[in-house]
Amino acid sequence: MLRIKVSNLKPGSRTGKDLYSYDSQLLLAQGTVITQEHLNSFARRGIEEIFIMDSRPKRRSGKDFSDTYVESLHVVKNFMMEAKLGKPMDGEEIRKTTDMLFLQVFDENDLFRQMRLMKDKDDYLFTHSVNVALLCILIGRWLKLGEGTIRELGTAGLLHDIGKVQIDGAILTKPGKLTDEEFEEMKKHTMLGYDLVVQSGSFSTEIANAALMHHERADGSGYPMGVKGYKTPFYAAVTAVADVYDAITSDRPYSTRSSPYTAAEVLWQESFGRLDPRIVKVFYDKITNFYVGNQVLLSNNEKGVVVYIDPSQPTRPIVMVDDNKFYNLATDRNIIIQEIID
Ligand SMILES: [Fe+2]
Ligand SMILES: [Fe+2]
């Protein structure tokens, strides 16, 4: 960590410590990437020196995130194509990919930023599979599970939608809402995925169950079985949370992406009777930690910085759009955060 004069600071550095204003308001969380707008705000607030990280943290894998991501996409594409052609999946290669992703998930703040940058890199099904794997690994870390279990969870994430390779492409990429018959067809990806995972003979039953049951919901409204109560096996329950989060924050054939704030709100609502609240709670508490310091675009088209988060309503923070203008999204209910901008 370095102490540095703001006048010598360049955009792109990261804060080495949480940064507070003179009235003890958290301005930027540790690890936030400093932008030109932040620099302007420091000057306006009379902040002369701050702590920054002296370099980006070294990744344990020694590999860049984007390289790993692109390499993983490549593997996902390959095994999905092979599965589509009826060839058995190469379990070892898939596990190697999970291991690679596993080594990338240790700096969460950076992970969310990197995942945002990787959106639109490829077809939704491929990026979604990699993202869900990364999120499952992250949730596993946050739940303090053993390393072996976390890796298994990552593999469950990579394979959860494998059954979609056997669904008609026209349904998968349909831009509008599915008809009832099309939706019935789409639902089959769970059972088809289960069969593919089991037939490969390379993965645990828990991983096959994640493919089968990641759309089950405790109120019985899910599929394919409509299981009632929190009876979904653990890997499937984790995959379901990761799946919902990624689906909301990604552009899909039939909807444009919403911000992580909206995703967190949806997850929170879903935890009352649909998704497993023990998993949602940890995920929700942790992701909302990363919001302070984010630059955001509001639904009224104004840009600003998240300056304060009320722990009781973390998805509705206070946003500063210029020095004298603040929006409290907890009370300004008609304004939402459209997206995070870097
Ligand atoms: Fe699915
Ligand atoms: Fe999915």
Q: For residue 212, how far is its CA from the centre of ligand 2 (angstroms)?
A: 11
CA of 187 to the centre of ligand 1 (A): 8
From the CA of 239, how far away is ligand 1's center (Å)?
A: 9
Phi, psi angle pair for 283, to nearest 5° = -65, -45
Query: Considering the chain, what percentage of its residues have pLDDT values greater than 90?
Result: 51
- For 98, list phi and psi in degrees, rounded to 5: -60, -45
Residue 306's H or E segment, with its range, is: strand 303-308
The rounded Å distance from CA 185 to ligand 1 centre is 12
Name the average pLDDT for the chain.
87
Q: What is the pLDDT of residue 5?
A: 75
Ligand with smallest separation from the Cα of 239 = 2
CA–centroid distance, 84 to ligand 1, in Å, is 16
Query: What is the sign, positive or negative, of the torsion defined by CA atoms of 239, 244, 247, 248?
Result: negative
Q: How far is the CA of 161 from the centre of ligand 2 (A)?
A: 5
pLDDT of residue 22: 66
Whether 341 and 266 have beta carbons less than 8 Å apart is answered as no
- pLDDT exceeds cutoff 90 at 189: yes
Q: Ligand 2 centroid to 125 CA: how many Å?
A: 8
121 CA to middle of ligand 2, Å? Answer: 17
Q: Tell me if domain 2-52 and domain 65-289 are identical in fold.
A: no
Q: How far is the CA of 342 from the centre of ligand 1 (A)?
A: 30
Supply the pLDDT for residue 122.
64
CA gap 100, 98 in Å, rounded: 5
Whole-number Å distance, alpha carbon 299 to ligand 1 midpoint, is: 29
DSSP string, 229-251: SS-S-HHHHHHHHHHHHHHHHS-
pLDDT at residue 184, as a whole number: 97
Answer whether 89's CB lies under 8 Å from 71's CB.
no
User: pLDDT at residue 47 above 90?
Assistant: no
Question: Do the beta carbons of residue 252 and residue 332 sit within 8 Å?
Answer: no
Taking the centre of ligand 1 as the mean of its atom positions, its distance from the CA of residue 195, in whole angstroms, is 14
- Phi-psi region at 62: left, alpha or beta (left = phi > 0; alpha = psi -120 to 50): left
Nearest Cα neighbor of 100 from 55, 59, 141, 129 is 59
Q: Is the separation of the CB atoms in 197 and 182 below 8 Å?
A: no
Ligand nearest to the CA of 157: 2
Per-residue confidence (pLDDT) for residue 57, from 0 to 100: 45
For residue 267, count other CB atoms closer than 10 A to its CB: 23
3-state DSSP assignment of residue 13 = coil
Which range has highest mean pLDDT (90-99, 182-191, 300-309, 313-322)?
182-191
Q: 65-289 belongs to which homologous superfamily?
A: Hypothetical protein af1432 (1.10.3210.10)
Cβ(44)–Cβ(85) below 8 Å: no
User: Which ligand ends up closest to the CA of 194?
Assistant: 1
State the first-to-last Cα distance of the chain, in angstroms, to the nearest integer: 23
Q: Domain residue spans in the chain?
A: 2-52, 65-289, 295-341
In this predicted structure, the answer to whether residue 241 has a pLDDT above a threshold of 90 is: yes
The residues with which 219 forms a beta bridge, in sequence order, are 228
For 154-222, give the DSSP string: HHHHHHTTGGGGGS-HHHHT-SSPPPHHHHHHHHTHHHHHHHHHHHHT-S-HHHHHHHHHTT--TBTT-
Q: Which helix (H) or strand (E) covers residue 305, if one does?
A: strand 303-308
Ligand number nearest CA of 190 is 1
* Spatial separation of the C-alpha atoms in residues 301 and 334, rounded to whole Å: 13
Which ligand has the nearest atom to the CA of 243? 2
Q: Which two tokens stand for residue 264?
A: 């967190």
Cα(160) to centroid(ligand 2), Å: 6
pLDDT band at 52 (very low <50, low <70, confident <90, very high): confident
| C-alpha of residue 89 to centroid of ligand 1, in Å | 18
> What is the whole-number distance in angstroms between the Cα of residue 159 and the centre of ligand 1?
10
pLDDT of 238 higher than 90: yes
> How many Å separate Cα 8 from the centre of its chain?
34
Share of the chain above pLDDT 70, in %: 93
Question: CATH homologous superfamily of domain 2-52?
Answer: Molybdopterin biosynthesis moea protein, domain 2 (3.90.105.10)
Token digits for 71?
A: 């390499």
> What pLDDT does 54 receive?
63
Closest listed residue to residue 190, CA positions, set 217, 216, 153, 172: 216
pLDDT tops 90 at residue 50: no
Distance in Å, CA 160 to ligand 1 centroid: 6
- The reported pLDDT for the residue numbered 59 is 47
Which pLDDT score is estimated for 38?
85
pLDDT confidence tier of residue 265, bands split at 50, 70 and 90: confident
For the stretch 198-217, pLDDT in tens is: 999 999 999 999 999 999 99
pLDDT of residue 167: 95
pLDDT of 123 > 80? The answer is yes
Determine contact, residues 136/143, Cβ cutoff 8 Å: no
Per-range mean pLDDT, top range of 6-10, 53-57, 215-219, 312-316: 215-219
Using the mean position of ligand 1's atoms as its centre, give its distance from the Cα of residue 144 in Å. Answer: 25
